[in-house]
């Protein structure tokens, strides 16, 4: 399954804590020891971290400059918080049937979002922003009262990925004037993949890229073992470095979506930020965390959000139907107990 080729993108929680063990081992020839170099910075309203295994002569300043430039390019394309970005210009269109030329980055993300929309039966929908705003998770902040059915129906009338036409020539067209896009559920993963492609093109074989908790790992650590990545324990208000499970990654990506960082309570009810586009309401399915392991982070990022919407039973069934894709969905019972729902092959990737 080859699918590799926000500023407030961080609406989803930074739900992956990555565990990097820097044990250096001699190279096979010349006695040269590979070193693990670290880069860090900010992008998409969150942070990024990169581990690169290379010799001491690696030009880290040049590498960081190229990474920052590539991420700035992606952010300029898909940040809804920049009025001059491509996505903001598309959202500002007030007429239907008017094609807008878009960049290759925007086109690739839109094609991936459309694939996931159909694959998940609409559980991932890049046009869901009107419902996100209605339920108090947009710029307006938390609600003072629960929206009534009429308000939900009105917002749903502006939602639906099928209301946007995507031409492979590189054009987007609205079918209704007020449909808008927010690709925050997939764009961080795309950023991870593009940095991985950049590093690979510069000749690096062993590295780990993380943006806002979404990860791609290539090759191995300096000690010759796979990279190890921790899935955050999904406890409201808990520490970001509390580990629920650890998986081994090699030439694969991991992304997690959860409801335990961004939520509020009103009228005695708890509402999390993950909205089901099919119903127009925040999800109420006991899922607190959904993790996906796939061959690229764009797909893993979007699918993790969809699984949190779909629920454990339907989500695991989908994971088991997808070749080369594994995952772990965690639910919380009424007494607070966490229950794991792994895909068929997840255990083979998890460390004891």
**pLDDT tens, residue by residue, 200-255:** 999 999 999 999 999 999 999 999 999 999 999 887 666 777 899 999 999 999 99
Binding site members: 185, 301, 305
Residue 163 domain flag: yes
Asked if 4 and 193 touch (Cβ cutoff 8 Å), the reply is yes
Residue 324 domain flag: no
Which of the residues in the chain have pLDDT under 70? 1-32, 236-238, 259-268, 352
Residue 27 domain flag: no
CATH of the domain at 114: 1.10.3980.10
Asked if 315 and 296 touch (Cβ cutoff 8 Å), the reply is no
For the stretch 152-185, pLDDT in tens is 999 999 999 999 999 999 999 999 999 999 999 9
Asked if 342 and 324 touch (Cβ cutoff 8 Å), the reply is no
Residue 4 domain flag: no
Q: What is the reported pLDDT for 267? A: 65
List strands edge to edge, sheet with 35-43.
35-43, 46-54, 207-211, 214-218, 252-258, 287-294, 326-332, 338-342
Binding site members for Mg(2+): 185, 301, 305
**Token pair of 331 as six digits:** 């639910």
Distance, in Å, from the CA atom of 196 to the CA atom of 82, rounded to the nearest integer, reads: 25
Q: Which residues pair with residue 272 across a beta bridge?
A: 263
Q: Is 140 exposed, middle or buried (0-12, 13-18, 19+ CB in 10 A)?
A: exposed
For the chain, what is the domain count?
A: 1
Residue 343 domain flag: no
Residue 242 domain flag: no
Structural domain harbouring 115: 95-179
Q: Would you list the DSSP string of 130-191?
A: HHHHHTT-STT-S-SSPPPHHHHHHHHTT--GGGEEEETTTEEEESSTT-----HHHHHHHH
Write the secondary structure of 206-232 as one string of H (helix), E (strand) and C (coil).
CEEEEECCEEEEECCCCCCCCEEEEEE
């Amino acid at each position: 399954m080859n699918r590799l080729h926000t500023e407030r993108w961080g609406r989803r929680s930074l739900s992956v804590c990555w565990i990097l063990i820097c044990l250096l081992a001699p190279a096979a020839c010349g006695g040269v020891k590979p070193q693990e170099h670290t880069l860090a910075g900010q992008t998409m309203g969150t942070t990024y971290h990169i581990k690169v295994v290379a010799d001491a002569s690696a030009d880290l300043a040049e590498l960081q400059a190229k990474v920052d430039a590539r991420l700035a390019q992606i952010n300029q394309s898909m940040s809804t918080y920049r009025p001059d970005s491509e996505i903001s210009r598309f959202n500002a269109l007030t007429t239907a049937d008017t094609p807008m030329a878009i960049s290759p980055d925007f086109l690739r993300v839109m094609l991936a979002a459309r694939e996931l929309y159909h694959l998940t039966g609409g559980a991932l929908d890049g046009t869901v922003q009107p419902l996100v705003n209605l339920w108090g998770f947009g710029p307006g902040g938390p609600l003072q009262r629960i929206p009534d059915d009429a308000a939900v129906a009105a917002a749903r009338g502006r939602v639906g990925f099928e209301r946007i036409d995507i031409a492979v020539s590189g054009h987007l067209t609205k079918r209704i004037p007020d449909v808008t896009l927010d690709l925050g559920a997939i764009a961080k993963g795309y950023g991870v993949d593009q940095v991985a492609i950049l590093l690979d093109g510069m000749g690096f074989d062993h590295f780990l890229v993380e943006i806002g908790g979404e990860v791609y790992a290539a090759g191995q650590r300096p000690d010759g073992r796979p990279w190890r990545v921790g899935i955050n324990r999904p406890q409201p208000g808990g520490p970001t470095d509390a580990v629920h499970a650890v998986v081994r990654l090699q030439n694969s990506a991991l992304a997690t979506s959860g409801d335990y960082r961004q939520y509020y309570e009103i009228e005695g009810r708890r509402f999390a930020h993950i909205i089901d586009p099919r119903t127009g309401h925040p999800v109420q399915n006991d899922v607190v965390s959904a993790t996906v392991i796939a061959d690229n982070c764009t797909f893993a990022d979007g699918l993790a959000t969809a699984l949190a919407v779909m629920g454990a039973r339907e989500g695991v069934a989908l994971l088991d139907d997808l070749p080369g894709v594994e995952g772990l969905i965690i639910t919380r019972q009424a007494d607070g107990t966490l229950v794991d729902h792994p895909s068929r092959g997840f255990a083979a990737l998890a460390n004891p």
